Amino acid sequence: MRTPWIALASLLLIAVLTASCQKIGGEVPKGPLALEKLAFDNAISLQYGELVSVTANPSGTAFVLWFVKPDKTIVAVTVNAASSTLVGQALTIPRR
């Protein structure tokens, strides 16, 4: 006798929860991520924020330094390990 009521209450709860869902945000931006020229050839700008991670190329020839700006934008700067130089552009990934 209880089973039909439990099933009906469960279906009603699922229907209410599904109806209350809303799509978050609007249109998702598409296209390539922004590349910006590094301000310095031999230093990393403080504007990139705090260093949060370093990843290495499996071959060991390059490292990517990952920074987070105060507005939560992510910036990736590549370092050529063989020549100990910065690659000329930083990849900027905006956060929304």
Is the pLDDT assigned to residue 47 strictly greater than 70? yes
Instruction: Kindly report the pTM of this predicted structure.
Output: 0.66
Asked if residue 26 belongs to a domain, the reply is no
Q: Which domain holds residue 91?
A: 32-96
Least confident of 6-10, 25-29, 76-80, 86-90: 25-29
Asked if residue 92 belongs to a domain, the reply is yes
Q: What's the token pair of residue 85?
A: 């130089």
What was the pLDDT predicted at 50? 96
Asked if residue 66 belongs to a domain, the reply is yes
Are 67 and 50 in contact by the 8 Å Cβ rule? The answer is yes
Q: How many domains does the chain have?
A: 1
Asked if residue 16 belongs to a domain, the reply is no
When comparing pLDDT for 53 and 17, which is higher? 53
Asked if residue 54 belongs to a domain, the reply is yes
Print burial letters for 13-36: b (CB count within 10 Å at least 16), e (below 16). eeeeeeeeeeeeeeeeeeeeeeee
Tell me the C-alpha distance between 5 and 40, whole Å.
69
